[in-house]
Amino acid sequence: MSTAFLMYVSRALSEGTKRLFAFALPMMFITMWTDTFIPTATLAFATYGTTIFILPLCGSSLDKSNRLRSATVLIFAKSFFNAATMVILYVIFLCELHKTPTALFTAQNYGLFALLCVCAIAGETAEECWTICIERNWVVLVANGDEAALTSMNVAIRRIDLMALTLGPFLFGIALQNMSSEALKVQFGCWLTVGAFLTGVPEYFLIRKAYYSDPNLSRESLENIEGHGGDSENPFTALCSSWGRYISHPVFLASLGYSALYLTVLDDHSGLTLSFLKWSGIPESVIGFSRGAGAISGLIGSFLFEYVKGCLGGSLEKTSSLTVWFFWFNLVPIGFVAYYGTVKQLGYALIICVTLSRCGVWLFDLAHTLVMQEYVEERYRTEINSVQSATYRIFWLLQAILGLIFSDPIEYHILVYTSIGSVLFASVLVSIWAGCVSGGKPASPTKDGKRYGTV
């Protein structure tokens, strides 16, 4: 079996459990606490508020670490901590079982929820670090300077992601709708998700085999180690160095624009949007189906990517700019319905427009992935991409703060207006970056086949 195939199968296992967890957790929250966004927003606030500091430090360390050792730690850490999160949630549910449906927390459950947040933060950190390692480092090394092969691998990975996004939430939503009580829904959601994380074991063995099957993966990257600060560098200095490299890098504006997209709740995996759709009376099967339909729209985008990029002369700058504006135009009608329509109309407008927008956002995601792979040096690639991950978590944190401020579902329209504005801001930033880069043609590939910055 080829290295790429082993990575694809591993990715399918990893992404399947990740998407199931991302869909199940907010659905369990709104099932347990029906009239508020506070649990969802609190967890988001805690997770994003801490990972913005943790991820840059992890990225710097991963660039200097043995790849297989890092993969082993990350795969088992994400499986363990995400499973622990759902077990703790189930314990909280048992504690709240005899209370009113709208009860949030009793005093003894604050500690349990805090522990849930700690496990969710650890799981999210490991999940994101592993995603960055695979998407922004491993696939680049396997492609070995061949942009066509790199594009093909990126597209294949996105299709795997979207298939996981299609099947998991759709089947899970149907199963939930057919449960006879809220208690059964919580039990089913928690234990199914816990069982799904057993896939970490075969995922590890697949990645181990992939590692030893490609010499580019198994070689020690001494040049990476030399490019970073010494081992004695304290965490604060390392954090400042990572952010400094990121802000001064030629991809910064493009990365900031990409990160600004995470302020929007107009997304088919946003916990606040899932909670609003359920609150507005949209059937769970329809919510699950809408995520599947959004994934199909994204799949269409993945099939169109190479054609669109070719029509634009292979320019990643033009492709990024055009596709992010296409994403924004698809979201604008939601603002009009939020202002003039009813709650139910807004719910269905969200489903339709967000589904259509997935084509544009995945086109843009593929273009931006190539930018962050090809325009960032290998010795800083994981670090820069980790800081980008921290950056978009800052915007996610702002989203969580807004969710806490406007925690009543009836105020969701305010989050809609903020989201449309954030996507507009992102589109402008990406366009400015594209204009600046096009002023000087992308640099010729270096000896390792990558294009760093502009000339």
E-assigned strands of 314-410? none
Q: Which residue range(s) make up the domain with 201?
A: 3-438
Domain-located, residue 447: no
> Could you tell me the pLDDT band of residue 223, with boundaries at 50, 70 and 90?
very low
Query: Is 411 within the bounds of a domain?
Result: yes
Confidence of residue 108 (pLDDT cuts 50, 70, 90): low
Q: DSSP of 227-286, one letter per residue? A: TS--TT--HHHHHHHHHHHHHHSTTHHHHHHHHHGGG---STT-HHHHHHHHHTT--HHH
Q: State the Cα–Cα distance between residues 399 and 4, nearest whole angstrom.
A: 36
Q: Is 92 left (phi over 0), alpha (psi -120 to 50) or beta?
A: alpha
In the block, residue with structure tokens 């492609």:
143
Q: 442 pairs with which residues across the strands?
A: 454
CA distance 455 to 439: 9
Q: How many domains does the chain have?
A: 1
HSE-CB at 134 with a 13 A cutoff on CA atoms is: 32
Two tokens at 73?
A: 């730690």
CA distances from 215 to 7, 142, 170, 222 (A): 15, 9, 40, 14
Tokens describing residue 420: 């449309």
Supply the pTM of this predicted model. Answer: 0.75
Mean pLDDT of 197-207: 90
How far apart are the C-alpha atoms of 143 and 150, rounded to whole Å?
5
Here the tokens at position 241 are 């160095």
Average the pLDDT over 264-276 and give the result: 78
Predicted confidence at residue 41, as pLDDT, reads 74
Q: How many C-beta neighbours within 10 Å does residue 397 have?
A: 21
Q: Spell out the alpha helix ranges (H) of 97-146.
A: 109-133, 139-143
Whose CA is closest to 271, among 402, 163, 452? 402
In this structure, what DSSP letter does residue 1 have? Answer: -
In a domain, 445, yes or no: no
Give the C-alpha distances (Å, rounded to integers) separating 138 from 55, 257, 261, 262, 382: 18, 25, 25, 25, 10
Split at pLDDT 50, 70, 90, the class of 198 is confident
Q: Which residue do the tokens 């600004």 mark? A: 260
Q: Which of 89, 111, 116, 83 is CA-nearest to residue 32?
A: 89
**Is 409's pLDDT higher than 50?**
yes
Residues 32, 33, 37, 41: is their CA dihedral positive or negative? Answer: negative
Q: Which of 132-141, 157-166, 169-178 has the lowest mean pLDDT?
A: 169-178
Q: Cα separations (Å) of 307 from 249, 302, 319?
A: 29, 10, 11
Residue 352 is assigned to a structural domain of this protein: yes
CATH at residue 20: 1.20.1250.20
In a domain, 448, yes or no: no
Selection from 85, 114, 109, 83 nearest residue 96 by Cα: 109
Among 186-195, 299-308, 362-371, the minimum mean pLDDT is found in 186-195
Q: What is the pLDDT of residues 329-385, one digit of tens each?
A: 999 999 999 999 888 889 899 999 999 998 999 899 999 999 998 888 877 888 898
Residue 14 tokens read as 């990893």
